[in-house]
Amino acid sequence: MKKKNVYVSGYGKAHEKSAITKIYGIFALGMIVDPNTDEILEVEGSLVLDITKNFLKCLFVGEKITDEKKISEKINDLYFGASKKAFIIAYKDALRRYKEKIKYNI
């Protein structure tokens, strides 16, 4: 039986002087994932600039959430913003939650 798409979130601390921290306090990452293929269908983060929001989509949409090495390398290679660590930490937090739920078929 085909599973329905799931929503997963993760959180990471952004640089203390970043707009993310000033406005939101923490970086939040939300993703819609197809659990049948592990493909990230949609992503959004607590970001300020539209260009960063769009770039976040380029980093994640179409990738498999379980491909930790590829996604981490993509962030490191392509994103030079102050919140790079927050992106990676939030992604890994979301991945942990995803694996935990999928493992128990929830």
CA separation (Å) from 4 to 30, 33, 45, 61, 101?
Answer: 17, 9, 22, 17, 13
pLDDT at 104: 63
Torsion of Cα atoms, 53 then 82 then 39 then 46, to 10°: -50
Contacts of 68 (CB under 8 A, 6+ apart): 92, 95
**What domains lie within the chain, and their CATH numbers?**
6-103 (3.90.1010.10)
Binned average pLDDT, 10 residues per bin, the chain of 106 residues: 91 80 82 96 91 95 97 96 90 96 68
Q: Can you give the pLDDT at residue 105? A: 65
pLDDT at 106 (0 to 100): 52
Q: pTM (2 decimals)?
A: 0.89
Can you give the pLDDT at residue 21?
Answer: 66
The Cα 60–Cα 63 span in angstroms is: 6
Predicted pLDDT at 32? 98
